[in-house]
A and B are shown apart, each in its own frame.
Chain A
């Protein structure tokens, strides 16, 4: 039938491991062969649009002769069939209910796709992977079944787990609900349905095989396994609701939680950091990543270099004051400012100082490197431009107030905000190109997208400004001031605010698409990564939301307020907290 290969994508310089599924076209008739390939390609295209943490991402597909290939995300994990085999008997109810809720969540996602529901068609223990953090992934879509032809009696779906109507070729969401019921029956009873006569669930109650299972859980499985589709749960969402009810009854979920929160809660249980690293004082700034190394400054005066995969300490460099500035990496050097008033340039390799240059105020702004120069603001009210080779100042310009905003340089122009509420644009010679005023301090940094500068101000407004002329294209009013730097993705712009919200705004119409209310200020700048948006608040929480809908994916609580911005590299979120720790969390 084919195989799954662990493969390396050679087009990338870094080591990128993918899974390649091979499917063999056994049809002899030319028309049939073509139909199979067309079906395969149609389904690959549908799958490519699916975006859910419990479904592997599809990267590519192709057909070579009689073999078709699907290139997808490589998932590390053990499938439930193996788990059952290892356990040698039924699995623990609490664990199974947790997975079942997550499975309902992903099935609900698939079944509510527009314009047509996506039916998985092959839910069974072998197709459910569990990773080390107890998160599930649904692998091997019914797509593979496109290639099963000819032989009498075979069908799409695996015998034993498939409902009666699937034998008639029907594929509706109820097919998946039934198959999930059959899977749960197998997990809880330890009886393999493939070795039993079909549709004999009534004769084999779960609690007869495994008296430890609650009657409530048994009832849910029985409902899912009803012979008539109309007697089963109406939707995966309904089944999830029922499962959460059981979880609450059994004390697995103690509080009265909404469905989304409960699903979330269960996922949170498994959301733990890969590693943490503790400094001697608060972390208020953001980390940078370069070649497997994370650089982070702390209020303990040090800049740390840590191994990104293990969190192991590599070196530290002592400044004379706290470091909030996010370091800039350029070639072999790291550049950052400190509250000690200096810009430091140090070697990436060993953390030894190359040069330092003084300003007349504490530096909270993060430097930006362009054209052999370093651009950074300081509390001395100046924008400083420094030669990166020798640390000498090329020029500086007074912005009229403290400069905590971090500059960006695009197409020979420098953009930066200042605490007197102004947003400035300079050319490389230090000539002002334009200046646009807001009504309160501009602590946030500008964000450039399609020739537009997006920047928020403490006057509660998010500005969209023409990068060439400085004219305001639109203004969006939040409920309170903001020091969060916006970010754009697709048609949306995301920004946090001290009103506790993360806003998602349509970039063209300046209308709010959704907002997400947290219980404290969102001073951190959001980051979009693989369809999710990540940000933090001063309650010490890190949030991950679905970027399209604003639905909570997960949240994680640290021990102190977070003021820095997350960075995400290789599916890992790196974030520092005022609890002195740097966290590396799975994205």
Chain B
């Protein structure tokens, strides 16, 4: 047995699917090439396309919630989970961030938003996170988008059963390795923030007034004071059939994400959001400042925000 065979058999010990392992072909007239294998392993500069970035990614997260100054109870809810572990010899960041903004009389709004968060988080963790943590890790039988779709359907069902008349927005982002998938219903938002601190909304508000604005029926000034400005055309728990918006794209390798309810984005001008983010504070300080800014501006609504920063 030559060196390459030996190396191969050592590697084979660690194969998860031994019956389909690689084999050297000794029956061939040309003997296996030790030099070739070495050359392959020593020269990783094969990248003819953008190489995936796996160098020590750090995810820093700040989060916060405030009832605001004009309401006496809180209908916003949030969830954050940030983990990193090694998988298949690579570092694998996994993160799940959700914000839900409930609505409805009595306590129905807060029941709806909390139920939505719990149901979706539980579903995603069960379908995506737990299989990874099992002794024989394997991916879900569903795609990321399908997992979100099913989770939101279940959450919708739960809310209709348990929170009469309650409804909620739900905006979630799942990060697994280099990929990011967003699920979105309602008018909470996710912004992507580039290295200069510029914000770009990745989601579209499912609000009636926003739609009228998109169609050119009303101006942004009219929208700001429109009596129906809080009416959503897609929300969980409303009994109407709806499709969540699902968006998959490569995870930003630097910069960050801001997930927030309309208690932040509709109160604090985007310019101010940008200034606070550009100040270079820690993610938690940034998040606190964002919420302070909404309260300083009157705090008419509940405010929730999750600020996620990626760095290598």
Residues of chain A touching chain B, judged by Cβ–Cβ distance below 8 Å, are 357, 370-373, 387, 390-400, 409-412, 426, 428-436, 448, 450-452, 463-464, 466-475, 507-510
Contact = CB atoms under 8 A, between A and B. Distances in A.
B37 interface: yes
Interface in B142-165: 142-146
B30 A390 contact: yes
A420 to B, nearest CB: 10
Contacts of B44: 412
Contact of A387 (B20, B36, B46): B36
A412 B39 CA distance: 12
B87 interface: yes
B17 interface: yes
A452 B36 CA distance: 29
**Interface core residue of A373, A390, A474, A475 (most chain B CB under 10 Å):** A474
A429 B24 CA distance: 10
B48 interface: yes
B41 A429 contact: yes
Contacts of A464: 143, 248
B240 interface: no
A435 B17 contact: yes
Contacts of A431: 11, 15, 22
Contacts of B68: none
A508 B192 CA distance: 15
A371 B46 contact: yes
Interface string B228-263: 000000000000000001111110000000000000
Contacts of A433: 88
Given A393-B28, A395-B37, A430-B22, 17 more contacts: A390-B30, A394-B36, A410-B49, A412-B47, A426-B22, A430-B23, A435-B17, A451-B50, A452-B179, A466-B176, A468-B52, A469-B87, A472-B140, A473-B179, A508-B248, A509-B245, A510-B145
Contacts of B43: 371
B105 interface: no
Contacts, number: 159
B1 to A, nearest CB: 15
Contact of A467 (B47, B52, B140): B52
B51 to A, nearest CB: 5
A474 B145 contact: yes
B311 interface: no
Interface of B: 7-8, 11, 15-17, 20-25, 28, 30-33, 36-37, 39-41, 43-44, 46-52, 54, 87-88, 90, 92, 139-140, 142-146, 176-179, 181, 245-250
A410 B47 CA distance: 6
Nearest to A371: B46
Contacts of A426: 22
Contacts of A463: 143
Given A393-B25, A393-B28, A466-B178, A411 B49 contact: yes
Given A429-B41, A475-B143, A509-B245, A451 B178 contact: yes
A391 B8 CA distance: 21
Contacts of B33: 387, 392, 394
Contact of B30 (A393, A397, A436, A469): A393
Contacts of A507: 248
8 contacts: A391-B30, A392-B30, A429-B40, A450-B250, A466-B176, A466-B177, A471-B177, A473-B144
Contact of B48 (A410, A430, A434): A410
Nearest to B251: A451
B52 A451 contact: yes
B49 A397 contact: no
Contact of B46 (A391, A411, A448, A467): A411
